Structure 1
Amino acid sequence: MNESTLCRLMFYAACAAAVGLYWSGLGGPFVLDDAYNFGPLEKWLQGTASAREIIWGNASGELGRPVSMASFLLTVATGGMHPFPFKFGNLLIHLACATAVWQLFRRLLAHDVRLAAYAERIALAVAVIWLLHPINVSTVLYAVQRMAQLSTFFVLLALLAYVQGRRLLAIGDTARASRFLFVAFPAAFLIGLLSKENAAVAPALCLLIEIAYFRGLFTRERRVQWFFGLFLLAPMLLATGLLVVAPEKLLGLYDTRDFTMLERLLSQPRALMTYIGLLLWPRGGLMGVFVDDFAVSEGLLSPPETLASIVALLAITGVAYSYRRRAPTVFLGWTFFLVAHGVESTFLPLELYFEHRNYLPATGLLLASACLLFLLGQRVRLHSQALFVIGRTILVPGILAGLMWVSWTQVQTWRSEGALAEQALRHRPDSMRAKIVKAGVALKERRFVDAQELAQSLAMGPDQRNRMQGFVHSITIDCFAGAAPNLDNLDRAVDSAIAPIRLSDASSFRPLARALEEGRCGGALTPGRLADAIVRIIDGAATQPNTSRPKWMLRTTAATLYARAGEWDAARYQAEMAWQPNADPAVGALLVRIYVHLGDRARAEAVLGEVASRVETYEVAGSLEIARLRQAVGAML
């Protein structure tokens, strides 16, 4: 049996092992952002949303991620609205990505003079380790992260197209090379972007391949120059122009964050070093999705790891670059890891830390590590054959067994939302999200005392940013428990609020407003009183722009509560302030109904026209609501 056939069989065996590892976790629950992204899918099943609305109506990114949404729609159409088909689909994509990793690295290593003879086995090792690595569990079993998976898959296909195009150019087949470089690559690149925007790193990764194995920036091949001009330089100029002309398009979310752009840039080296640690030494307890306790770097020495991380990254990069001719694949793997983080780990106002951001970058770090170990192993083999044999027969199987064990334990944790939160709190006791999720699980199970303890731990905790939500959730739990809510907690919530208002702050009032609407809070807490408290919080964030999403969301909640209390002038004012250019059409619909109640037909018609302009004709629920609003306005005297 030749080496190629043996490697193929071993890869198939690894795929079977991955299916076995993940199978018991495929029935685990939806978590966190799943509900936000999959809500429209339920409406489609009920016939109140169109397929076009699902595919083109997502607001998760600048491009709407229609390819990912189309895949979710296909999942629902064939398997229903259950976690299993979503996560099973993710597992299949994971296997496809591993196959692409294997095939890409086989081709890249063939250009490395010192490692070409071992390309098959090194590529296999990297693909298998990545396939079974526990850091990917939170990507595969977090259903909505199919967006990251699809983006990665099409980036890998784009890189395969580039490598094939370069190979054909090298042998003089310019016609076929052009088809790969200017047809296959942009097609895969575009589909990747429409899956998730972090596919934008693909052209830069091609440049790294060019530097590592070909002529780099000094190539005289006109087709390669045109390639980078079209797919790297032009998009960079476009992005730079967008930052200059309309910076709010890319940087607007900073008004909802607890950190500035500089603080984020300082924090990311620490995040990258943490990722590296988990990739090279996986520890299940430190993995997961509840990572909101990751500290902000406020300066080079605050915390001290900030400067150390920057120095470490620069030093490793310097060494990798200096050895780029003798060890081009080590250089490529390391810089691949850094550049693949270029969208989500740089200046954009995203949250500081999420391990699923390593889904593509991890392949580069693992490639660099495997090649470095192989090169060192060659030297060891020359001096100690016995040590080499021990490493090959004991160390490698031991690494795989360890990875599979940690992955297995992580998969078991993903079988329940409560287990995820409990694991997080054992290792990240200050995670607000983990406490809220665990309290939510306790509330569903009617363990009201446990839920209240978790809410109080937030309310009385050391992080003042989280105290407001702790008090709000404490009141909500009282309402659902059938107990008289402690209204002093409402004043404490207001006093604890700190600007800027975050999305989680705005969302924390929704369950309480729903409990109030359902009559669960008794007579002491009225809609007007809750609305007054919310307005005091809004007034405390006077410097936060009114266009900030959390702010207009909170104003919308206040307007709804005032309307329910019969305080129509207050409702009108809050709804008018909430009706921002970036607000959801539902906000405008609320304002129209308020104007209808107040008898202001002219303003009702004006706002209704604005609402209609923001609703596409294929949006079923939105179109029906506009029809109802027109009927209500038409009935006015």
Structure 2
Amino acid sequence: MDNNLRLVGIRLSLFFFLVLSFFSIAFFYSLAMPGYFLFDDWPNLSGLSLISDLWSGLSFVSSGIAGPLGRPIALATFAFQADAWDGHPELMLGVNIFIHLSAFIGAFFLAAGLARFYYPKNDVLPWWIGLAVAVIWGLSPFLATTHLMIIQRMTSLSGLFLLCGLAAFVWAHLVDKRHRLWRWLLLFFGLGFGTLLSALSKENGALLPWLALIILWLWIPKEYYLRDRVSRSILLFLMILPAILLFFYLASRIPGILDNSYGPRRYFTPEERLLTQPLILLDYLRYLLFPKPIAVSPFMDHWPQSTGWFDPPSTIFAALFWPVLIGISIWLRKKAPYLLFGVLFFLVAHILESSFIGLEMYFAHRNYIPAFGLYFALVFFLFSVPQKFRRIVFIGLIGYILVFAGVLWQVTSGWNEKHINGEVWLNHNPNSIRGAQFLANRYLDQNDFFGAHHVIKRAVERHPDEPLLNFQLTDNCIHREMDFPETLQNVLNVLSSTPRYNPQVAFELLRISQEKNHSPLCELRDFNVLYSLIDALLSNPIYERRSGTSSMLYLAKAFVSSEINRFDQAVDYFVASFRSRPNIDVAFYGMGLMANIGDYDRVYHFLEEVRTSAPDSRLGREIWMHRLDEFEQIIRESERIDRERLSQGVEVGS
């Protein structure tokens, strides 16, 4: 009876600390409210402003540009919050926090399940290990930007499905053999739906079968292997086969990437990226284990690349560190299996974003899933120490968790201090283009026009051929009106000739072209000047040849033409934008203007062209056609009204 009461007490304590941890994480992240939108939010989420009904919402969900799969699951969660764009970031931040709290529970069950293989007769210890892992992972300050940056919901949502899928996979091996149906369901939903939902939130989810293989190969004892025919079939088709296909897909991309380099979009070559990533992974490792508030920054673009094995000298150290660590882990595998498991889980989870694919060099949120393997290995080691040292180790573990909580509190409680953060983040990475833009905007908020100009000018000196920074020199000419003609000419020269590709400058031109008072800090940059800036970028072959960028630039010219009452030109540019990259909302803009100037014949002719450009997918085509049918009804009704007004002698458009 006493033992039973003691066991009940331990379980209640476990539940209490689980709930306490859950609400503590929620509290720390609530300190970051209301939050704010950052640069990467606009290219991906600006389409939320066009959502007005179910069909426009479905169109937004199916039009993702952030990855090859479109990330429709993540976009669907944003579509449900369309009213929050772009005036209520706290509503979107709240959903991000809720997703992380749900992932915290997923990490708890995954870690507890993994621990149970090595403590099968202990009803409580695996759950305490699971709690410790989940708390460290959930409080990890270095992962905070995954939730504080609104658009990174894609990462956390993918991580949620991945952790839950792996947890289901692990517990399928722990289910009693008499309950085969439950085992099959856990395998099917964990590997099948887990991979699908995770990958459709962000492409990293495709790594779930690989991580499941790591767990099966390095962690699950052979006596737990599933040997019945159905289980083996599920593992074959939902784990092994997808893992092999992903391997060959990645392998097939290597020659093209290495032969053709990354082109003008990146400031580094494939060789430089491969040399730099071991150093970056080591930097990730440092801040995951020993967090500092200064390292929690959303602006890690233009991280300095390694140009040779000894430039910088730390490159060769990092390149040797990882194979040596793997070798030591293999040597200690029998005595310390958690070490090899943690290292390979960490590295395999990084293989898409931290290898040869030409993404940006450095992002803290890439560690959202890899960090789990690292923290699990650390906690399992601490729980494996001899009994006589366990009390000291547990006191140290509690202190370690409190350090994480303290650093996270510093990060989230100061998140809204934009000016201070802007200074700190740019000092931490002085090469960051986004960091310079963010800080310049903070100076403008304080009417410090000279300070804002100085930040951008200093960034241009670091990146003289960066088109967006040069363009932003025209944003603010207060007290420098006399210098504006020379500045404008220099910017036009850069835009027309730069070898650096940055689609953000096209998006910025598009955004500004839609504003009535588009340059309150530089009246000299009127619509005619904006027109010349767009033309300069279109004259650059690097931008003109890319369909997405040229489409945005033609669309910007269409809006500018409308503002200066060149409606026939505006119609031509709307059509040109659509033909560069078919977009139904662009088509609506164009046909709406055609109708406004009374050119209904052209509306119907263009309408047929738009119909022939519908997406190939069945769902995309159905959404496209439904929206066109609705629009055609509106146009025909508009034409009927215009004809009645003309017959009554009323001028159309009056």
Contact 2:595 2:635 in 1 (8 A): no
Further displaced range: 413-422 or 76-85: 76-85
Residues 48 and 258 (structure 1), Cα distance of their counterparts in 2 relative to 1, 3 Å cut = farther
Contact 2:154 2:202 in 1 (8 A): yes
Matched, 1:121 2:122: no
Equivalences for residues 92-171 of structure 1 within 5 A: 92-112=98-118, 118-168=125-175, 171=177
1:573 deviates by 9.3
Give deviations 1:470-511, integer Å, cap 9, x for gaps.
Answer: 3321212228x9957702112222444531321223234346
Contact 1:482 1:520 in 2 (8 A): no
State the partner residue of 1:72.
78
Contact 1:448 1:477 in 2 (8 A): yes
1:208 deviates by 1.0
Residues 308 and 565 (structure 1), Cα distance of their counterparts in 2 relative to 1, 3 Å cut = farther
Inter-partner Cα distance in structure 2 for 1:259 and 1:247: 17
State the partner residue of 1:193.
199
Equivalences for residues 388-467 of structure 1 within 5 A: 389-393=391-395, 395-459=396-460, 461-466=461-466
Residues 444 and 482 (structure 1), Cα distance of their counterparts in 2 relative to 1, 3 Å cut = farther
1:283 deviates by 1.0
Further displaced range: 512-521 or 100-109: 512-521
Inter-partner Cα distance in structure 2 for 1:421 and 1:628: 48
Inter-partner Cα distance in structure 2 for 1:244 and 1:594: 46
Residues 577 and 262 (structure 1), Cα distance of their counterparts in 2 relative to 1, 3 Å cut = farther
1:403 deviates by 1.2
Equivalences for residues 244-393 of structure 1 within 5 A: 256-375=265-384, 377-378=385-386, 389-393=391-395
Flag structure 2 segments of 5+ consecutive residues without an equivalent. 1-5, 616-620, 643-654
Q: Which amino acid aligns with 1:96?
A: S
State the partner residue of 1:478.
477
The count of aligned residue pairs is 621
Inter-partner Cα distance in structure 2 for 1:302 and 1:208: 34
Residues 67 and 119 (structure 1), Cα distance of their counterparts in 2 relative to 1, 3 Å cut = same
Give deviations 1:162-196, integer Å, cap 9, x for gaps.
Answer: 1222234x736544322222345312332222322
- Select 1:231's aligned residue among 232, 238, 263: 238
Further displaced range: 523-532 or 86-95: 523-532
Of all paired residues, the percent bearing the same amino acid is 24
Inter-partner Cα distance in structure 1 for 2:256 and 2:628: 27
Inter-partner Cα distance in structure 2 for 1:548 and 1:312: 43
Equivalences for residues 478-517 of structure 1 within 5 A: 478=477, 486-497=484-495, 498-510=498-510, 513=513
State the partner residue of 2:618.
none
Flag structure 1 segments of 5+ consecutive residues without an equivalent. none
Inter-partner Cα distance in structure 2 for 1:576 and 1:267: 44
Inter-partner Cα distance in structure 1 for 2:555 and 2:83: 34
Contact 1:259 1:296 in 2 (8 A): yes
Residues 263 and 127 (structure 1), Cα distance of their counterparts in 2 relative to 1, 3 Å cut = same
Equivalences for residues 41-80 of structure 1 within 5 A: 41-44=48-51, 50-75=56-81
Equivalences for residues 509-528 of structure 1 within 5 A: 509-510=509-510, 513=513, 527=527
Secondary structure of the structure 1 residue equivalent to 2:65:
coil
Further displaced range: 399-408 or 499-508: 499-508
1:436 deviates by 0.9
Further displaced range: 282-291 or 438-447: 438-447
Inter-partner Cα distance in structure 2 for 1:456 and 1:627: 52
Q: CA RMSD in A?
A: 4.4
Inter-partner Cα distance in structure 2 for 1:230 and 1:293: 41
Contact 1:422 1:438 in 2 (8 A): yes
- Select 2:40's aligned residue among 26, 29, 33: 33
Give deviations 1:39-79, integer Å, cap 9, x for gaps.
Answer: 344444x6697443344343333333333233334456799
Q: TM-score, normalised by structure 2?
A: 0.80
Secondary structure of the structure 2 residue equivalent to 1:129:
helix
Secondary structure of the structure 2 residue equivalent to 1:464:
coil
State the partner residue of 1:553.
552
1:363 deviates by 1.0
Contact 1:256 1:501 in 2 (8 A): yes
Residues 538 and 336 (structure 1), Cα distance of their counterparts in 2 relative to 1, 3 Å cut = same
Further displaced range: 7-16 or 558-567: 558-567
